[in-house]
Amino acid sequence: MPEFQVFFNDHTSNDFNTLFTSLPPERPYFATGVPGSFHGRLFPNSSLDFVHSSYALQILSKVPKELLNKNSAAWNKGRVHYASAPDEVAQAYSTQFAKDITTFLDYRAKELVMVGLMVLIMPVIPNGIPHSSLRTCAIFDFLGQCLMDMAKEGLISEAQMDTCNLPVYFALPKEMTQLVERNGCFSIERMEKTLPWARVDVLYVQACVMHLRAGMEGIVKL
Ligand SMILES: C[S@@+](CC[C@H](N)C(=O)[O-])C[C@H]1O[C@@H](n2cnc3c(N)ncnc32)[C@H](O)[C@@H]1O
């Protein structure tokens, strides 16, 4: 029976104690926590056989700086995301995503052994569908409108509202394919769809809110 060592990675601010206490006590692997951003190097050269990332690569390393520049066509005044924003805003997000994915692939290629495998699960938007029609993007729009209302009521300043942009990008499958091919460190063996929202009862508002809060609260608080 081979022995497995599993490295769990998250930001240094992650509560690794909660992670370790939630693991089954009788587990067929050794568990290790690895703090740090996956946008940087995390492991020694050729030290991993398998890499798995789940629902994390949509989170950008930073908000594209043009979004905060009043003189840029991508200035994102009054919004927190690119859904319903001018094309320049979506383009700035897409460019940042391309940089982040390329760095991610470069670093993981160094860390994986030559015959290593990687499985990435990430939210994407179907090819040919406008961003604004994606349910999650519509919810981000609502969040932006709530912040606008709070600014109008004086609870936050308009300047605070204007500096709030969610560093989250949903790529198109074909965009991801192009980035992997252009990077050249990996080949795609298989790409398939999952429907995570099918597991969330959207009519049950509380479930919807909890689902989004689990993924977004840390980002909004930053
Ligand atoms: C939406 S949660 C997904 C959690 C879990 N992988 C899952 O599938 O249920 C995204 C996780 O990625 C982590 N994360 C985001 N950006 C990261 C980065 N640059 N480096 C390491 N972890 C990151 C967040 O802290 C968070 O724990």
Sequence-ordered list of residues with C-beta below 8 angstroms from that of 161, at least 6 positions apart, any chain: 78, 147, 148, 150, 151
The residue segments making up the domain with residue 206 are 37-221
Instruction: With beta carbons less than 8 A apart as the criterion, state whether 197 and 125 touch.
Output: no
Instruction: Give Cα 203 to chain centroid, integer Å.
Output: 25
**Is residue 167 domain-resident?**
yes
What is the full DSSP assignment across 89-117? HHHHHHHHHHHHHHHHHHHHHHHEEEEEE
Band (201; pLDDT cuts 50, 70, 90) = low
Number of domains in the chain: 1
Instruction: With beta carbons less than 8 A apart as the criterion, state whether 35 and 11 touch.
Output: yes
Rounded to the nearest angstrom, the distance between the alpha carbon of 6 and the centre of ligand 1 is 16
Which CATH number goes with the domain that contains 59?
Answer: 3.40.50.150
* 143 pLDDT more than 90: no
Inter-CA distances, 156 with 60, 69, 70, 126, 151, Å: 25, 20, 20, 35, 5
Q: Which one, of 40, 38, 197, lies nearest residue 118 by Cα?
A: 38
Q: Is the ipTM beyond the 0.95 threshold?
A: yes
Residue of minimum CA distance from atom 22 in ligand 1: 10
Atom of ligand 1 nearest to the CA of 14: 25
* 5 pLDDT more than 80: yes
**Is residue 14 domain-resident?**
no
CA–CA gap between residue 69 and residue 47 (Å, rounded): 42
What's the confidence (pLDDT) of residue 17? 96
Residues with CB under 6 A from ligand 1: 9-11, 14, 37-39, 54-56, 59, 215
**Is residue 8 domain-resident?**
no
Look up residue 66 and give its two tokens: 């043009």
Share of residues in the chain with pLDDT > 70 (%): 95
Atom of ligand 1 nearest to the CA of 61: 19
**Is residue 12 domain-resident?**
no
**Is residue 162 domain-resident?**
yes
**Is residue 15 domain-resident?**
no
Band (160; pLDDT cuts 50, 70, 90) = confident
